[in-house]
Amino acid sequence: MIQGRFLFLLFFVLITAWGCTQGQNQKTMEFRKLTPEEERVIVNKGTEAPFTGKYEKFDGKGVYTCKRCGAPLYRSDDKFDAHCGWPSFDDEIKGAVKRVPDADGMRTEIQCAKCGAHLGHVFLGEEFTPKNSRHCVNSISLEFVPEASIPKTDTAIFAGGCFWGVEYYMQKLKGVKSVTSGYTGGHKDHPTYEEVCTGKTGHYEAVEVVFDPLVTSYETVARMFFEIHDPTQMNHQGPDYGEQYRSAVFYRNEEQKKVAEKLIKLLKDKGYNIVTELRKASVFWKAEDYHQEYYEHKGTLPYCHGYVKRF
């Protein structure tokens, strides 16, 4: 009897602790205040009545975001009329939507990948469009952002050894518009390559990555960074040694910082001894022209970088 009570008490403590952790995770995210009807659908996985949603026949150009957290979910170009009573999309913004088995045991629920908000369900094989996929979404789960209000690009800055190799692989990522090799993090204005190589300027060899946030996310770009250089090497990368070859993420806002922290934790949990620094972005100085697209012009492959799947 005593043993049984002890096990029950232990179970109760574990459940309570799990609940507190879940609550803390929820609190770290900024959610919009929902109306009772929005909460019924978005939080409690309800469904709005067919042919009543404001986006069911809506054809504006722009992006549909999550009503609860604001994350971009769907482009208007992927919306089509399925005559089903709810907004339909045949594709999502990469990484924006999570699929989970529905509680009914038959359908597949779709959720906002960032905050877990209930969106609706996804159906395959109906042949409405060439993509053969239909995301049936509640209008009440969405917020429309007109095309004119959408940022066209976002920027990320990374240092991971010789900028030639980092630039080479970053340019191949879908959604990346440009990659510039340069110097950042030091105290010398308008540094030259020779000055940076002395180690006296404090600068890192780095790249500035400009990407389309509707094609790829900052997290996707950051994951690529951690997989094309060795984030466990201190002050060198491959055969290149020197403080200018330090590994670092230069975050431009708190959202980028949180993403980098999350990825570093994931890698540490996998057993990697990560030495990558997290630093607030400062002035980025473009390197000399002969450093730009170095391997494209030379026609060879990087000698100290390569892709290694780590996530």
Domain ranges of the chain: 36-149, 154-298
Q: Label residue 10 by pLDDT band (50, 70, 90).
A: very low
Q: Label residue 1 by pLDDT band (50, 70, 90).
A: very low
pLDDT of residue 247 exceeding 90: yes
Per-residue pLDDT, 30 = 72
Per-residue pLDDT, 150 = 82
Mean pLDDT for 161-175 is 96
- Contacts of 16 by beta carbon, 8 Å cutoff, 6+ apart: none
Mean pLDDT for 246-257 is 96
Please report which helix (H) or strand (E) contains residue 2, including its range.
helix 2-27
pTM here is 0.70
- Contacts of 104 by beta carbon, 8 Å cutoff, 6+ apart: none
| CATH code linked to domain 154-298 | 3.30.1060.10
Per-residue pLDDT, 227 = 98
- Contacts of 225 by beta carbon, 8 Å cutoff, 6+ apart: 156, 158, 160, 166, 170, 249
Which residue did the predictor score with more confidence, 5 or 230?
Answer: 230
Q: Label residue 152 by pLDDT band (50, 70, 90).
A: confident
- Lowest model confidence (mean pLDDT) among 80-89, 242-251, 297-306: 297-306
Distances (CA, A) of 143 to 169, 233, 305: 35, 44, 41
Point out the residues that are catalytic.
Answer: 136, 162
pLDDT of residue 6 exceeding 90: no
Any idea which residue has 């045991």 for tokens? 105
Per-residue pLDDT, 95 = 85
Q: How many CA atoms lie within 13 A of 72 on its CB side?
A: 23
CA distance 31 to 200: 46
Mean pLDDT for 66-95 is 95
Mean pLDDT over each residue of the chain, to the nearest integer = 90
Q: Label residue 199 by pLDDT band (50, 70, 90).
A: very high
Q: Encoding tokens for residue 211?
A: 């990407």
Q: Label residue 53 by pLDDT band (50, 70, 90).
A: very high
pLDDT of residue 191 exceeding 80: yes
* Beta-strand pair 204-211/154-160: antiparallel
| CATH code linked to domain 36-149 | 2.170.150.20
